[in-house]
């Protein structure tokens, strides 16, 4: 993707700190530089005017609500999308916008009408679509301006008036005046072909900090997401690099959020959703921890209908929780050798773990190794300082249903079960503390108010895992599934609140499409005959039968 990266790198430099807008309408330096650049680089395609005159005309227009000369009309057209520090701009004011359109359409000379159109077109390119100060009203007004520009373009096309050279370029790239202005560039950019994008930028005097370049990046992401599962996965590392600003192109925060959100949603719809570490880390870094920043996730990561993408959130949620659980027992164990039995046991409970905390001793808290730093970064917001114990001990605290469960990194420590409703207030305050991080004593995590103390010790008749299950499962409102589960899916395999919930968790974990027709006297289907061996083993254990070519059904 070297060609597309080169063209985007030239244009997207300003996105490193986000699209900038003037602090106030009386600060014209940014617009002056942009206009000078347009004039120098693109000649007649751009509109050059004195920026102070533009700002003065805008201020008078805002105060009086009218324009008295064609010169002022041209200046107002050029400044319609300039956003002040409060997020206001003239294009977002319905009364002012309608008046400008009325005056532009009322020009008796087509030459002057085209000049108004050209000035408004320059304003359209310059709008800080994703600027932090840009209001929703301004964005709505910009969209109205886009609609008018599209209609006015058709009007000018039908005119017998001689058209300026740049107008031919606009008709060639007329899609830029639609509600999907950059979609035509995406597939080509994905193939390292930036010819059309470069032509539009150069021939239409589109400034280097325009939203057009940002939307071109997003269109490239969408083109990647439209690929088949296997091709998408093969392209994903490159898309992640571009979307995170690591591919030689600096991107602003909102653009990175949009790109990574698109990639996460697409991956969640793959049939095989094995953990993709780079995607997981990028999502947590850019969007945030999905169980700590649920509202942020649901705002950015949405499905095709614009609704919160629950499947994507739970996919990253599961990946993150499983990674943290694994790291705790394999990385933070006292002897450094890990404890695979405890890892495998608690991974089975991951879907039911509502929240988790990690209380670290001083060794883990201060360790400079890359794995330790990565763990602390992934667990940010759920880290505690563990006091009253050896420097190498750590505690894993999880909320499951109505219980709080506490495990320790040091082998030989018991697992403690607490009733959440009976926790003492100091411990609750610590878990909900906004301090970074709060401290908790090991004696509080082994408090006398625990309801059960369980030892990791096998007996002649039972393993400790079986003993734990015998106690925990009935109290967590679950029952055992007697069917054997392959070891590879054991973390998701045990039944939660009955068969339907177990199937739901299993389907989300493996990207299965479930169709339930039982209410219509039909069958319960898992669509698709070709499934991985571990999936078919579980479906058979639940009593599903294969029916080609539709999939697996259960009456």
- Cα separation of 157 and 167, whole Å? 9
Residue 336's pLDDT is 54
CA distances from 56 to 37, 62, 302, 379 (A): 21, 10, 42, 52
Res. 188: pLDDT tops 60: yes
The residue among 24, 22, 44, 23 whose CA lies nearest residue 33 is 22
Report whether 157 contacts 126 (CB < 8 A).
Answer: no
Provide the pLDDT confidence category of residue 154 given band limits of 50, 70 and 90: very high
DSSP string, 130-185: T-TT--HHHHHHHHHHHHHHHHHHHHHHHS-SPPPHHHHHHHHTGGGGSSSTTHHH
Residue 452's pLDDT is 95
- Cα separation of 489 and 483, whole Å? 13
pLDDT tens-digit readout, 36-95? 444 433 335 566 667 788 888 999 999 999 998 999 999 999 999 988 878 889 999 999
Q: Give the predicted TM-score (pTM) of the model.
A: 0.71
**Weakest-pLDDT range from 32-41, 127-136, 202-211, 446-455:** 32-41
- As a whole number, the mean pLDDT across the chain is 83
- Cα separation of 464 and 141, whole Å? 65
Average pLDDT over residues 245-268: 88
Residue 148's pLDDT is 97
- Cα separation of 287 and 265, whole Å? 13
Res. 508: pLDDT tops 80: no
| Residue of 359 and 41 predicted with greater confidence | 359
Residue 198's pLDDT is 93
Residue 485's pLDDT is 34
Provide the pLDDT confidence category of residue 199 given band limits of 50, 70 and 90: very high
Q: For residue 352, how many other CB atoms are within 10 A of its CB?
A: 19
Provide the pLDDT confidence category of residue 433 given band limits of 50, 70 and 90: confident
Residue 550's pLDDT is 86
Strand partners, 201: none
DSSP element (H, E) containing 383: strand 383-387
**Weakest-pLDDT range from 301-315, 403-417, 469-483:** 469-483
Residue 182's pLDDT is 93
Judged by DSSP in three states, 115 sits in helix
Report whether 272 contacts 229 (CB < 8 A).
Answer: yes
Average pLDDT over residues 315-328: 91
pLDDT tens-digit readout, 276-309? 999 999 999 999 989 888 899 999 999 888 899 9
Sheet holding 439-441, edge to edge: 439-441, 383-387, 353-360, 394-400, 403-408, 415-419, 452-454
Backbone angles phi, psi at 532, to 5 degrees: -65, 155
Average pLDDT over residues 440-445: 93
- Cα separation of 484 and 18, whole Å? 53
The residue among 298, 292, 253 whose CA lies nearest residue 436 is 292
pLDDT tens-digit readout, 107-129? 999 999 999 999 999 999 999 98
Residues 6+ apart with CB under 8 A from 391: 361, 362, 363
> At which residue do the structure tokens 């990561």 appear?
301
| Residue of 357 and 42 predicted with greater confidence | 357
Residue 520's pLDDT is 83
Provide the pLDDT confidence category of residue 3 given band limits of 50, 70 and 90: very low
Report whether 22 contacts 31 (CB < 8 A).
Answer: yes
């Amino acid at each position: 993707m070297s060609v597309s990266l080169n063209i985007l790198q030239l244009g997207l430099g300003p996105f490193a700190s986000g699209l900038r807008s003037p602090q106030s309408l009386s600060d014209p330096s940014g617009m002056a530089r942009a206009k000078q650049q347009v004039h120098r680089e693109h000649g007649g395609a751009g509109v050059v005017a004195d920026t102070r005159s533009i700002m003065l005309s805008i201020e008078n227009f805002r105060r009086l609500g009218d324009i008295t000369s064609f010169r002022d009309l041209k200046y107002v057209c050029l400044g319609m999308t300039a956003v002040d520090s409060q997020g206001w701009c003239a294009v977002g004011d319905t009364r002012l916008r309608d008046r400008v359109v009325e005056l532009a359409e009322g020009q008796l000379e087509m030459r002057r009408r085209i000049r108004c159109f050209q000035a408004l077109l320059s304003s359209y390119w310059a709008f800080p679509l994703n600027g932090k100060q840009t209001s929703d009203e301004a964005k709505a007004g910009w969209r109205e301006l886009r609609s008018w520009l599209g209609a006015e373009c058709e009007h000018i096309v039908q005119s017998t008036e001689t058209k300026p050279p740049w107008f031919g370029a606009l008709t060639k790239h007329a899609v830029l005046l639609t509600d999907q202005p950059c979609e035509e560039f995406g597939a080509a950019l994905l193939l390292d072909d930036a010819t059309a994008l470069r032509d539009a930028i150069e021939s239409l005097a589109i400034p280097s900090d325009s939203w057009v370049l940002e939307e071109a990046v997003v269109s490239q992401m969408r083109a990647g997401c439209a690929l088949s599962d296997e091709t998408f996965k093969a392209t994903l590392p490159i898309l992640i690099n571009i979307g995170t600003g690591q591919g030689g192109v600096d991107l602003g925060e909102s653009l990175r959020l949009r790109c990574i959100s698109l990639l996460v949603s697409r991956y969640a719809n793959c049939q095989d959703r094995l953990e993709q570490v780079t995607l997981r880390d990028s999502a947590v870094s850019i969007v945030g921890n999905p169980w700590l920043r649920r509202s942020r996730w649901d705002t950015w990561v949405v499905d095709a209908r614009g609704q919160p993408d629950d499947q994507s959130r739970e996919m990253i949620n599961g990946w993150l929780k499983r990674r943290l659980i694994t790291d705790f027992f394999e990385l933070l164990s006292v002897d450094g050798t890990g404890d695979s039995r405890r890892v495998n046991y608690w991974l089975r409970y991951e879907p039911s773990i509502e929240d988790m905390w990690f209380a670290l001793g001083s060794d883990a808290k201060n360790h400079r190794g890359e794995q330790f730093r990565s763990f602390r970064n992934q667990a940010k917001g759920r880290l505690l300082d563990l006091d009253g114990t050896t420097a190498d001990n750590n505690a894993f605290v999880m909320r499951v249903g109505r219980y709080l469960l506490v495990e320790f990194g040091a082998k030989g420590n018991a697992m403690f079960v607490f009733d959440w409703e009976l926790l003492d207030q100091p411990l609750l305050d610590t878990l909900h503390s906004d301090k970074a991080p709060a401290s908790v004593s090991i004696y509080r995590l082994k408090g006398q108010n625990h309801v059960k103390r369980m030892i990791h010790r096998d007996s002649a008749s039972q393993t400790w895992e079986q003993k734990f299950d015998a106690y925990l499962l009935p109290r967590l409102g679950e029952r055992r599934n007697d069917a054997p589960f392959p070891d590879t899916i054991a973390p998701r395999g045990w039944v939660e609140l009955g068969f339907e919930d177990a199937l739901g968790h299993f389907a989300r974990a493996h990207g299965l499409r479930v169709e339930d027709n039982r209410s219509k006297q039909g069958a319960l289907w898992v669509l698709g005959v070709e499934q991985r061996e571990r999936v078919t083993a579980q479906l058979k254990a639940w009593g599903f039968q294969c029916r080609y070519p539709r999939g697996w059904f259960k009456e």
